Amino acid sequence: MLVTGANGFVGARLCSELARQGHQVRAAVRDSARVVDLSGEVVVTGALGTATDWSAALEGVDAVVHLAARVHVLRDTAADPVAEYRVVNVEATQGLARAAAARGVKRLVFASSIKVNGEATGDRPFRHDDVPAPADPYGVSKWEAECALHRISHETGLEVVVVRPPLVYGPGVGGNFRRLLKLVVRGMPLPFGAVDNRRSMIYNGNLANALAACSFHPDAAGKTYLVSDGEDLSTADLVRRLAAALGVTARLLPVPPQILRLAGALTGRTAEIDRLTGSLRVDSAPIRTELGWGAAYSMQEGLADTAGWFAALRP
Interior CA angle at 163 toward 180 and 69, to 5°?
65
Nearest CA among 59, 23, 25 for reference residue 40 = 25
Residue 199: strand, helix, or coil: strand
Whole-number Å distance between alpha carbons of 94 and 110: 11
From the list 85, 138, 203, 297, the catalytic residue is 138
Whole-number Å distance between alpha carbons of 199 and 124: 12
How many contiguous H segments (helices) and E segments (strands) does the chain have? 12, 9
Q: What is the Rg, in whole angstroms, of the alpha carbon atoms belonging to the chain?
A: 19
Task: Note whether 76 and 137 are within 8 A (CB).
Answer: yes
The answer to whether 225 is a known catalytic residue is: no
Name the burial class of residue 175, with classes exposed (0-12), middle (13-18) and buried (19+) by CB atoms within 10 angstroms of its CB: middle
Query: Which residue numbers are catalytic?
Result: 138
